[in-house]
Amino acid sequence: MELAATPLHPLFAARLAGADLSQPVSDRLVRAIERAMDEYAVCVLPDQALDDERQIAFARRYGPLEVSPPQQKKDGGIGFNTRVKHREIFDVSNLDERGQILDERDTRASYRLGNQLWHTDSSFRQKSAAWSMLHARVIPPEGGDTEFADTRAAYDALPEAMKRRLDGLVAEHSIWHSRGKLGGYTPTEEERALRPPARHPLVRRHPGSGRLGLYIASHASHVIGMPVDEGQALLAELIAHATQPRFVYVHKWRIGDLVIWDNRCTMHRATPFKATGHVRDMRRTTVIDTAAEAQQVA
């Protein structure tokens, strides 16, 4: 069966039918998904019966994978997530190591609140993320949607004067900047050392489509060489511009959905749900960006 794309938004995002990732994945299907991603940047593959091993194997077809870092536990110590066996799987859930819903006072719950801010996965790493793949295992009865913003279309719509202003500007990104904004998470010194800040151009050329896109969002703390308040005002202006409804697709999850997005030309955020009353169990794999072109300033 041929892969068939149905657009979900006038500017980006598509539903892909004709892929069963529980079966051996052919090179032809791998390339077809890659072409769809270059065009749409966000692709929804519904009804995927995946376990962690199959999800990891599929994601590896597109490049090396990030591994999840150690995290602060309920007792304040640092350790790896024992609920999920493979470090290539990022646990995007509201569950503890026993599979119980996290208490709202648990530091891990406050850490995950940061996902409700507009962000780009792993922009706080110098080797940042290309694609993220999020698979829905358990979803709440309401809420917990994910919103995506098209930063290529947002860049195209900027006034020429703003495009000239952004040329050559670089921002510093830190996971601890965003985590301090919502939830008040305080990292340990060990955590700070494990995940130092990174710097990236505000405008990058997307290697798959050749289009320019904004590279911003909540991890970006300031603009290099600019007074902090001025740089933060510029970043806030750009985020507000890029997240206008005309640039945003809202995904309402169904169990089995695998949503793939390109972090180099999108932002996303989770929407709230009753996190202390309903389980939301999502598993993410993240492909490292190895394309040198993606690091170049326009």
Which residues, in sequence order, are CB contacts of 58 under 8 Å at separation 6+? 21, 25, 50, 133, 285
DSSP structure string for 14-69: EEEES--TTSPPPHHHHHHHHHHHHHHSEEEE-S----HHHHHHHHHTTS-B--PP
* pLDDT tens digit sequence for 66-89: 999 887 766 667 778 888 999 999
Query: Which of 146-150, 160-164, 179-183, 206-210 is least confident?
Result: 179-183
Strand partners, 78: 72
* pLDDT tens digit sequence for 157-180: 999 999 999 999 999 999 999 988
Q: What is the pLDDT of residue 297?
A: 42
User: Does residue 184 surpass a pLDDT of 90?
Assistant: no
At 61, list the tokens: 């077809």
The 3-state DSSP class for residue 191 equals helix
What are the backbone dihedrals phi and psi of residue 106, each rounded to the nearest 5 degrees, phi first? -70, 135
At 62, list the tokens: 């597109």
User: Does residue 105 surpass a pLDDT of 50?
Assistant: yes
Q: What is the mean pLDDT of the chain?
A: 93
**Number of Cβ within a 10 Å radius of residue 144:** 20
What is the radius of gyration, based on Cα positions, of the chain?
Answer: 18
All structural domains of the chain, each given as residue ranges with its CATH number in brackets, are: 68-129+137-250+265-295 (3.60.130.10)
Quick one: which of 74, 72, 101, 117 has its CA closest to 275? 101
If one compares 276 and 76, the residue with the highest pLDDT of the two is 276
Question: Counting beta carbons within 10 angstroms of the beta carbon of residue 137, is it exposed (0 to 12), middle (13 to 18) or buried (19 or more)?
Answer: middle
CA distance 60 to 69: 19
* pLDDT tens digit sequence for 23-76: 999 999 999 999 999 999 999 999 999 999 999 999 999 999 999 988 776 666
